[in-house]
Amino acid sequence: MLPDVLLRDVEPAHSDLLILRRGGMWDSGGGAPFATTARVFLQAAVPVAAICGATAGLARAGLLDQRAHTSSAPEYLAATGYAGGDHYRDERAVVDDKVITAGPRSPVQFARATLAHLRLALDTTLDAYERLFHDGDRTAYPVLMRAQHN
């Protein structure tokens, strides 16, 4: 992903989704402007997807306190001081109330959950995507090719 706009110019009204990616800034306590933008998006009912360290940024901002979510490990998010530990799920990706979360070992499931939430692909296509790119199941490739031509 390469940004093509400044964060201050990102508006929920012109967006279908805000994606927050991994990065060292989250673990060093940075990322507050991104978490603030995430809050604005959620208040506008625009989904926010966070993977890896970005989940810590959402936790630190209190955005996971009342939502089911996942991350690297519950201890990782607990270190942020957030109050959402009871909502932590030990799953590859979790979607709850327009928030999509995943840990660092689950980029395929993160992409799948995001595409599904936006209704950009059929379940059969998403199943094939995960089988091919996560499981290495080559038999899923023709399913993806058929979906591309439909």
pTM, entire model: 0.93
The first and second tokens of residue 58, run together, are 């959402």
Domain ranges of the chain: 7-105
Q: Distance between CA 20 and CA 138 in Å, rounded?
A: 30
Q: Is the pLDDT of residue 2 over 80?
A: no
C-alpha to C-alpha distance for 121 and 7, rounded to whole angstroms: 28
Token pair listed for 114: 């995001």
Position 3 pLDDT exceeds 90: no
| Residue closest to 22 by CA, chosen among 123, 130, 97, 102 | 102
- 119-134, pLDDT tens digit by residue? 999 999 999 999 999 9
Q: What is the pLDDT of residues 36-60, one digit of tens each?
A: 999 999 999 999 999 999 999 999 9
Q: Is 43 helix (H, G, I), strand (E, B) or coil?
A: helix
> Tell me: the pLDDT tens digits for 10-40?
999 999 999 999 888 998 878 999 999 999 9
Tell me how far apart the alpha carbons of residues 133 and 103 are, in angstroms, rounded to a whole number: 16
How confident is the model over 45-100, as pLDDT tens digits? 999 999 999 999 999 999 999 999 999 999 999 999 999 999 999 999 999 989 99
Residue ranges of E strands in the chain: 18-20, 48-51, 93-96, 99-102
User: 89 exposed, middle or buried (CB, 10 Å; 0-12, 13-18, 19+)?
Assistant: middle
User: pLDDT confidence of 1, banded at 50, 70, 90?
Assistant: low
Q: What is the reported pLDDT for 126?
A: 97
* DSSP helix/strand/coil, 148: helix
CATH architecture for segment(s) 7-105: 3-Layer(aba) Sandwich (3.40)
User: Over 80: is that where the pLDDT of 150 sits?
Assistant: no
